[in-house]
Structure 1
Amino acid sequence: MKLTDQHIEQLYKFTRQHFVEHYDVQTELVDHLANDIEQIWMENPTLTFEQARDKSFKKFGIFGFMDVVEEKQKQLGKKYRTILWKHTKEWFRLPKIILTASVFLFFYYFIQIPIGTYVIGASLFLFAILDIYLVTKLKKDFNTRAKENNKKWMLEEMIFNVASFGGVMVASNLPQLFNYAKNIPSNLGALLISFLLTIAIIYSYVTLFVIPKKAEKLLEEHYPEYKLANN
C-alpha cells in the first residue's frame, strides 16, 4: 500500500499535535514516518493507517519527537555559529578592519580622558536604544514572515531570535561595562574595555543587520525546498 496525499497531510498534522512547530523538522519526520508506515504495511497489510502510524511513532520512545527536535537544534545552532563567525571575521580583514580599528581607537581614547566617560556613556546609551528598537523590529518581522508563509523554519527562527537575544544581551551589559570603564586601573584595562566594546558593536551589527538581511539567501541555500514551499 502507498500513502495518499491525504495521509501525508494527516502526518503533518500529527507532528504539529506532538509539538513540532518548524516545517523543516515536520517534513523530515513525515518522510521518516511515511517510509516506515509503508514498510509496516508490507509486513502487516491489515493494519489501518492510524494503527501503522502509532506503531511507527512508538519507535521514537517515551519522549516522542523531542529527541529529533533537540538534535536538529544542535545541528542548526552549529550552522548559525558558522554563519556568524564567517561574517564577523570579515571585520578583521581589509578593508573593514580600518573601521574596526577606528571604533577601537575611539573607545580607547575617550576612556582615558575625564570627559571621555560622558562621551562613551552617551554613545552607549544611544547604542542600547538602537539595539532595543532593532530587536523589536526583528521580532515583528519574524512574526510577519511566519504568518504570511504559514510556516516556521528552524534556521529562520534562529536568524531572527538569536539576533534578538544578542541585541538584548549586549544592551543589558553596556551599563556594567561603562561603570567599570570609569575607574580603569591601567592602559591594559583601557585596551580590554575598548576591545570588548568593539566586539559588542560588531556582534550586534552582524546579528541585527547583516545576517537577517541575508535571510532569504541563507534559507534557500540550506533548504532546497524553501522557495517552492513558500510559493
Structure 2
Amino acid sequence: MKKLTEKHVEELYTFTRQHYVEHYDVQTELVDHLANDIEQIWKNKPQLSFEKARDISFKKFGVFGFMGVVEEKQKQLGKKYRKILWKYIKEWFAFPKILTVISTFLFFYYFLQLNIGIYIIGSSLFLLAIIDLYFVNKLKKEFDKRTRTNGKKWMLEEMIFNVASFGGVMVAANLPQILTYIERVPSKIESIIIATMITLAIIYSYVTLSIIPKKSEKLLQKHYPEYKLISS
C-alpha cells in the first residue's frame, strides 16, 4: 500500500496554511486526519496521485473547508482558558490573598463615602488604566517575539497573550467610565457595588495580564506535549 512521505506531510502543512489555518496545533490535527484519510483512499484507488487523493479528502470537510474545525478548536480552547482563568481568580478568595482583596475593597469603599473621594478614586482608576495598557503593550510585544522565534503560532498561546491583552484594553477603557456614575457621594449600597466592580476588575487584570502569561510555558507544555521540543 502507498504511504505518505515526509515531503507529502510538509505539503499538507503548507496546504492547511493556504486554507487559512494559522495555528500549528490545529494544522497538526488536520494534517494527521488528512494523512490517514489519504492512505485509506489509496487502499481503494492506488492509482490516484497525492494531489488528487488530498483534494478528495479535503472535499469531505464541506463548502467551508477547515473553518468548522478551527471554530470547534477555538471553542474547546476557549473553555480551557476560562477554566485556567477561574482557577487563578479563585485563589484570591482564599487565605491569605483574600486579605488583599478585602483591603482593596475597603480602600475604594471608604473613599467613595467622602466628598473628595471622587478625586482619589479618579486618580486611582486612571493609574490602573495606565498600568493595564502598559502590560497590554508588553504582552503584545512578547507574543510577537515568541512567534518570530518559534516560527509557529499555537492557539492556546495566542489566547493567553492576545485574549488577555484584549481583556486588559476593555478593563482599562471602562474603569474611567465608572466615574461618570459618581456625580455625588453614593449610597452605601451603590458604594458596595462600585467598590466590588473595581476590586474584581483589578483581580481580573492582574490574573490575565501578569499571572497567566508568567505561567504560559508550563501551561503550554502541559497542553501540548510537543511544545517543549518544538520551541526549544
TM-score by shorter chain over 0.5: yes
1:208 aligns with 2:198: no
Whole-angstrom CA distance in 1 between matches of 2:185 and 2:28 = 54
Partner of 2:173: 172
1:72 aligns with 2:73: yes
**1:133-173, CA deviations, whole angstroms, 9 ceiling, x for partnerless residues?**
11011011000000000000000000001110111111111
Aligned length: 231
Partner of 2:145: 144
Partner of 1:115: 116
Where does 1:44-63 land on structure 2 (aligned, <5 Å)? 44-63=45-64
Whole-angstrom CA distance in 2 between matches of 1:218 and 1:185 = 43
**Residue 180 of structure 1 aligns to which amino acid in structure 2?**
Y
Post-superposition offset of 1:179: 2.0
Q: Which runs of 5+ in 2 are unaligned?
A: none
With normalisation by structure 2, the TM-score equals: 0.98
With normalisation by structure 1, the TM-score equals: 0.98
**1:172-206, CA deviations, whole angstroms, 9 ceiling, x for partnerless residues?**
11121122134354100000000000000000000
Whole-angstrom CA distance in 1 between matches of 2:185 and 2:32 = 59
> C-alpha root-mean-square deviation of aligned residues, in Å?
0.8
Whole-angstrom CA distance in 1 between matches of 2:186 and 2:100 = 27
Whole-angstrom CA distance in 2 between matches of 1:130 and 1:136 = 10
Whole-angstrom CA distance in 2 between matches of 1:63 and 1:191 = 49
Say whether the 8 Å CA contact 2:104–2:199 is kept in structure 1. yes
**Residue 129 of structure 1 aligns to which amino acid in structure 2?**
I
**Residue 88 of structure 1 aligns to which amino acid in structure 2?**
I
Q: Which deviates further from its counterpart, 183-192 or 101-110?
A: 183-192
Say whether the 8 Å CA contact 1:57–1:64 is kept in structure 2. yes
Whole-angstrom CA distance in 1 between matches of 2:145 and 2:77 = 22
**1:97-132, CA deviations, whole angstroms, 9 ceiling, x for partnerless residues?**
000000000000001101111111111111111111
Partner of 2:30: 29
How many percent of aligned residue pairs carry the same amino acid? 69
Q: Which deviates further from its counterpart, 24-33 or 132-141?
A: 132-141
Say whether the 8 Å CA contact 2:13–2:31 is kept in structure 1. yes
Say whether the 8 Å CA contact 1:111–1:182 is kept in structure 2. no
Whole-angstrom CA distance in 2 between matches of 1:103 and 1:160 = 26
Partner of 2:191: 190
Whole-angstrom CA distance in 2 between matches of 1:5 and 1:142 = 30
Whole-angstrom CA distance in 2 between matches of 1:185 and 1:97 = 25
1:92 aligns with 2:78: no
Say whether the 8 Å CA contact 2:112–2:186 is kept in structure 1. no
Partner of 1:224: 225
1:135 aligns with 2:136: yes
Whole-angstrom CA distance in 2 between matches of 1:172 and 1:186 = 25
**1:41-62, CA deviations, whole angstroms, 9 ceiling, x for partnerless residues?**
0010000000000000000000
Post-superposition offset of 1:229: 1.8
